[in-house]
Amino acid sequence: MFLSIDIGTTNLKAGLFDEDGSCKVVSSRQTPYGTHPDDRYTYIDPQALWSNIAELIEEVLGSFRSPHVRAVSITSMAESGLLLNADTGKPATEIIPWFDDSSIEYVNFINNNIDSFAQFCKTGLHTSFKYGLAKLLWLRERDPSLFNQNVVWLSISSFIGYCLTGEIAEEQTLAARTFVYQIDKNKWDDATITHFDFNPKLFPHVTHCLKPIGNVKKDVNKLGLNFETKVYLAGHDHICSSLAAGIVTSGHVYNSMGTAETLVGTFTKRKLTLEDYESGLSFGIHPIDNMYFWMGGHSSSGGSIEWMRDILGDDRLTYEKINSYLEQADEGPTGIIFYPYLSGSGAPNPNPHAKAAFLGLKKVHQKPDLLKAVLEGNAFQMEMIREAAETTTRLSISTMSVIGGGVRNPYWMQIKADVSFIDLFLPNITEAALCGAALTAATGEGIYPTLKDAVAATIKADNMVVQPDHEMYKQYRQIYKDQYKPISKMIEKFS
């Protein structure tokens, strides 16, 4: 069997999987965040994280009569990391999560010191506070003495991998979210690292997700594992999830719907271009040979629904009440345009300072209209990302596999289908990131010859399908082309 660990933004999870990708048991708990009272930045205590992961491993293995675990595979949110003292094996800092914007002031500093397009061609990324480079600059200003030690920058996955094995390594899809990893050459960008006065030794050896970083060390055996158990870094959680959803060919994309929403697709590896740069998408190395992935994110998708739950009543609306309101809404577009930039805007026009807005409100509009408008606005925003991906990859996106909490809202799914006019497949997968991580370990262990074989052998054909309504599409398309898309450029610049 295979043990998967998923270190997510909201929850930590551990699950046991058979070789065929079927999930036997899952345990979860909330990701343990803290907030510093002085400067209010958000962090994760490394020891608290490891303690929670260790307890999850014990829970999962204990509930399944101590099974033989052939390998452990770890996936996680990207862009979250810490400094580890390589001499003592102790964390030198807390873990900085991807969404903490304390390093946002360094975005302009970085841009003033690089050729943004040239750096994009090397890394596949646009400058952002989320990435490791900005976080390291922020840490150095706070405490320069940190870098007098023998420290390494590790992703959150690599830190847990280190706790399990004692080995220091990084996985390539996570290394590529630092802004100093060259995806075109599969190596650290030493020139940029030294330009910002960092030592290239700050960044560890990079491995592929199909190669184990080591075996479980002796003092971890008490959790129910043994020294023969291999440990893999499965990489970026969105890429793992896309594997579980069967996204290994161009033309079919993965749509993750949580607090944030993401589209992920694949294409044959090639030199990145100015058109790719102007798309606002990010790009990275796919674990399948000779493939890149493209990714477009919207950080306040489900988050805008949670926001509405809080402000539309004295008590937080239940999801049942939300659906009741949506059932009361009139058929067709609301006539309200909602720009969902509560946490800035992502692709195709990244702007961390962008603000949300409602346009077109009238006295006749009620709670059902506002709720439906939020769903429409999020669907329009994801359509902009899908269009940008079609333009830059020259590939037609005909279907989309949708996974996440938003799938449980049938009104949202129908609006998404009507706005995009493509079929939405809703795979019967409850733990996509865990499943994808298990597939990487199974392939690494030789159960499957390649990741494509693993996906083909385990993907299930029992998807629900949401099909678009042609008349609704025509109405939404006119609003999208004439109002949402052109006005979005002005809204995104408002800060």
Instruction: Retrieve residue 347's tokens.
Output: 């692709």
| Angle (CA) 426 429 431, round 5° | 130
CA distance 307 to 318: 12
pLDDT given for residue 249 in this prediction: 77
Q: Give the burial class of 366: count Cβ atoms within 10 A of its Cβ; 0-12 exposed, 13-18 middle, 19 or more buried.
A: exposed
Domains of the chain listed by start with CATH number = 2-235 (3.30.420.40), 247-426+463-495 (3.30.420.40)
pLDDT given for residue 10 in this prediction: 87
- Dihedral (CA of 32, 75, 2, 264) sign: positive
**Measured between alpha carbons, how far apart are the two ends of the chain, in Å?**
51
pLDDT given for residue 228 in this prediction: 87
CA distance 251 to 395: 6
Q: Please state the length of the chain.
A: 495
Using left for φ > 0, alpha for ψ between -120 and 50, and beta otherwise, residue 7 falls in beta
CA distance 36 to 54: 25
pLDDT given for residue 351 in this prediction: 85
Residue of 343, 345, 332 lying closest to 375 (CA atoms): 332
Strand, coil or helix: 104: coil
Residues of the chain with pLDDT under 50: none
List 96's β-bridge partners, or say none: 81
pLDDT given for residue 96 in this prediction: 97
pLDDT given for residue 314 in this prediction: 76
CA distance 403 to 472: 23
Indicate the DSSP class of residue 83. E
pLDDT given for residue 220 in this prediction: 85
CA distance 344 to 258: 16
Report the amino acid identity of residue 407: V
